[in-house]
Amino acid sequence: MTDSLLTLNAGSSSIKVALFDAAGDDGSLPAARWSGEADGLGAGLKARLRVQDASGGTLHDAALDGAQASHQGALAALLDWHARQGEGGRIAAVGHRIVHGGVNFMAPVRADEAVLAELAALEPLAPLHQPHNLAGVRAAMKAFNGVPQVLCFDTAFHAAQPDVNRRFALPRALHDAGVRRYGFHGLSYESIVAQFARLAPELAQQRVIVAHLGNGASMCAMAQGRSVATTMSFSPLDGLTMGTRCGQLDPAVVLYLMRSRGMSADAVEKLLFRESGLLGLSGVSSDMRELAASKVPTAAEAITHFVEQVLQHMGSLASALRGVDAIVFTGGIGENAAALRERILEECDWLGVNVDAAANAEGATRLTTPESPVSAWVFKTDEEAVIARHTARVLRQ
């Protein structure tokens, strides 16, 4: 059996794994042989592990309980499932999603102890992701001894933004020391750009706003497939309302919480990253599906807040692009929540969006009428394929 590439993608409440046949001599990469996801990880959520074959058929579907409902436990369950398949073949490399690359990592690199130590220092900037990302690397090092581990960074896609969109209005010395706007979800945005040629070639040269809406949510303004501006900045806390993250916040709130409410830095971090967002607003859940099904008034209020934040940032990003030609939805919410998409797009009529309600309800790729001045689309993000391509390229180099 041919050599394989394994990808690991640890999010704030999920871990995705996929197995690819190694790339050919021309760098081409076939579709994943199988892909798996453990989602609902974290307190109060219903964790589950699902594995599908290349055609979407179910290979494994089971609840994760107890220790398995954590990131580490779910990763162990995924690797154990793979080991029991007895597929043969050699894992030639493992590719990893790393959320924060900081100042120094603008392209994929092989992991070593020095690199991992530098990335560990960034954990306070992405506490929901970076520790799980790096734990996944070390687990893979242990499971696949001597196999190259390739790290792919969410921040890299945004590194080419105009300098004016990378700076805070702080002393320049702080910017030079790394206090700057980085942007995240870059592997997802890179996946969407890669799909332009296949799904809607006209988008490759247009001004596009991509909305990656999920438990972690952000939006990105792109021109000719390159990042111009994005809603997340120094950390994945900024921007849109998210599952448990507050999103955009007046920095003085942090000073108030610490000085007037006596909260420690750790307590503030827990509040802003883990107890806010849809969970904090609703008091019900961080899961958009549960909120949509809930009869509790605060659940509807949380959804309205989420929609309003998307709309306000839509206007900001349209301004950064000096206009917009298309809007693309992706991510767990963006791909699956048809009613929420329609609600957002109906409020974007001022931009020139004419929604095709039937197409949206049916889950069509294009969501707008043929004559709509601004088109809207749904693309399924495939971060794993991007990680696999980067991993294959690093191996060839």
pLDDT per position as a tens digit, 183-202: 999 999 999 999 999 999 99
pLDDT interval class at 71 (50, 70, 90): confident
Comma-separated ranges of CATH 3.30.420.40 domains in the chain: 4-153, 199-378
Is 61 one of the catalytic residues? Answer: no
Strands 375-378 and 326-330: parallel
The span from the CA of 138 to the CA of 161, in Å, is 32
pLDDT at res. 72: 78
218 beta partners: 212
Q: How many CB atoms lie within 10 A of CB 274?
A: 19
What pLDDT is recorded for position 30? 63
The domain 4-153 is placed in CATH, from the list 3.40.190.10, 3.40.228.10, 1.20.1050.40, 3.30.420.40, at 3.30.420.40
Q: What is d(CA 18, CA 170) in angstroms, rounded to the nearest whole number? A: 42
Largest separation between any pair of C-alpha atoms in the chain: 63
Tens-place pLDDT, residues 14-30: 888 999 987 654 555 56
- Local structure of 201: helix, strand or coil: helix
Contact 16, 383 (CB under 8 A): yes
CA dist list (Å): 266 to 125, 254, 280: 13, 12, 17
Integer Cα distance of 383 and 9 in angstroms = 8
Average pLDDT value for the chain: 93
What pLDDT was estimated at residue 66?
85
Catalytic hit among 154, 238, 287, 356: 154
Beta pairing class for 218-223 and 207-212? antiparallel
31 or 311: which leads in pLDDT: 311
pLDDT digits (tens, 9 = 90+) for 316-370: 999 999 999 999 999 999 999 999 999 999 999 999 999 999 999 999 999 999 9
Predicted confidence band at 43 (pLDDT cuts at 50, 70, 90)? low
For residues 107 and 339, what is the distance between their CA atoms, to the nearest angstrom? 37
Q: Does domain 199-378 have CATH number 1.10.10.10?
A: no
Gyration radius of the chain over CA positions: 21
59, 53 contact by CB (below 8 A): yes
* Torsional class of 42: left (φ above 0), alpha (ψ -120 to 50), beta (otherwise): left
Q: Are 261 and 115 contacting, i.e. CB atoms less than 8 angstroms apart?
A: no
Per-residue model confidence (pLDDT) at position 170: 98
